[in-house]
Amino acid sequence: MPLSGQRIVLIGGSSGIGLATAKEAAARGASVVIAGRSVERLESASREIGVRAETHSLDATQETAVEAFFASVGPHDHMAVLVPTVPDAEVRKSVRGFADTPQATMEIVMRHKFWCQVYCARHARRHLRDGGSIVFITGQAHRKSLPNYPLVAAADAAVEALARELAREYAPLRVNVVAPGLIETPLIRDLPRGHREALEALVGPQPVPRMGTVQEIAEAILWIMGNGFATGTVLEVDGGYKLT
Ligand SMILES: NC(=O)c1ccc[n+]([C@@H]2O[C@H](COP(=O)([O-])OP(=O)(O)OC[C@H]3O[C@@H](n4cnc5c(N)ncnc54)[C@H](OP(=O)(O)O)[C@@H]3O)[C@@H](O)[C@H]2O)c1
């Protein structure tokens, strides 16, 4: 199914993978709605995307705001949620092993990675057109264990389980997951030194020994939106990370 002429909503579309997806979708003739918290980031992203972009300021951790957002956006064809697990650099420093991670940080992880996707799936549903789809984004933490990531692993596993259930309950809408490996985005670039270097060391042994690009993940997201036979699927695009 070509995406030309379709309307695609990207929560977290003003940076990184979401922005790359918005640009690629617009280049293929779709109109895009991007949402995020910072108005400045949205405006800058909108200039990069061009005339096919509509912007909305939204904190997707707030369910009432998510409901109002989808009511104001109205009918659309596809929706993806690209909110990071821990968007705040300061809070990211407190993500450690299970015993050492403060309860408040654990709740932030679940709110951003799990509840944002729940709220968006719940409130987008009645505005999604026939033939449309929802795409959740997870990662690889629950497929290959990493120190300091137990809550991220739990959140990603929960999102994938939810996607399988919704693929049945929401049919004929399709519900899928894209699960990237390590991708070079502002999220990774802004990590504290030791943390970033530890992640970089992980990609060396991969069959594809580098971080992925935002474009590689954007193409996966748009492929799964456009493939009318894909539902309940987890599309892993990770350079073979879990094989190492
Ligand atoms: N980069 C990787 O290696 C990697 C690996 C696996 C999975 N992922 C997943 O891929 C997705 C995109 O990550 P990325 O690296 O592209 O991140 P990014 O460059 O930091 O972009 C994140 C986007 O989410 C928005 N956002 C943050 N908090 C939000 C909130 N509460 N409500 C609404 N929007 C919010 C940001 O805008 P504002 O800050 O202005 O709100 C921005 O547009 C995330 O789900 C992440 O977990 C990334």
* Domain chopping of the chain, boundaries: 7-236
pLDDT at 214: 98
Provide, rounded to the nearest whole percent, the portion of the chain with pLDDT above 70.
Answer: 100
Q: CA-CA distance, 11 to 59, in Å (whole number)?
A: 9
Q: CA-CA distance, 113 to 91, in Å (whole number)?
A: 14
User: What Cα–Cα distance (Å) separates residue 210 from each residue in 22, 148, 202?
Assistant: 24, 21, 9
Centre of ligand 1 to C-alpha 12, Å, is: 6
pLDDT at residue 1 greater than cutoff 70 = no
Centre of ligand 1 to C-alpha 15, Å, is: 7
Task: Locate 197 and state its tokens.
Answer: 């270097």
The verdict on the CB of residue 41 being under 6 Å from ligand 1 is yes
Task: Report the CATH fold assignment for 7-236.
Answer: Rossmann fold (3.40.50)
Q: CA-CA distance, 181 to 140, in Å (whole number)?
A: 6
The larger pLDDT score, comparing residue 169 to residue 188, is at 169
Q: CA-CA distance, 29 to 61, in Å (whole number)?
A: 30
Residue whose CB lies within 8 A of the most ligand 1 atoms, among 83, 113, 120, for a mutation test: 83
Q: Give the model's confidence band at 199: pLDDT under 50 very low, under 70 low, under 90 confident, else very high.
A: confident
The larger pLDDT score, comparing residue 87 to residue 82, is at 82
pLDDT at 185: 92
Q: Give the model's confidence band at 56: pLDDT under 50 very low, under 70 low, under 90 confident, else very high.
A: very high
Least confident of 25-29, 137-141, 174-178, 184-188: 184-188
pLDDT at 208: 98
Centre of ligand 1 to C-alpha 219, Å, is: 17
Centre of ligand 1 to C-alpha 87, Å, is: 7
pLDDT at 188: 83
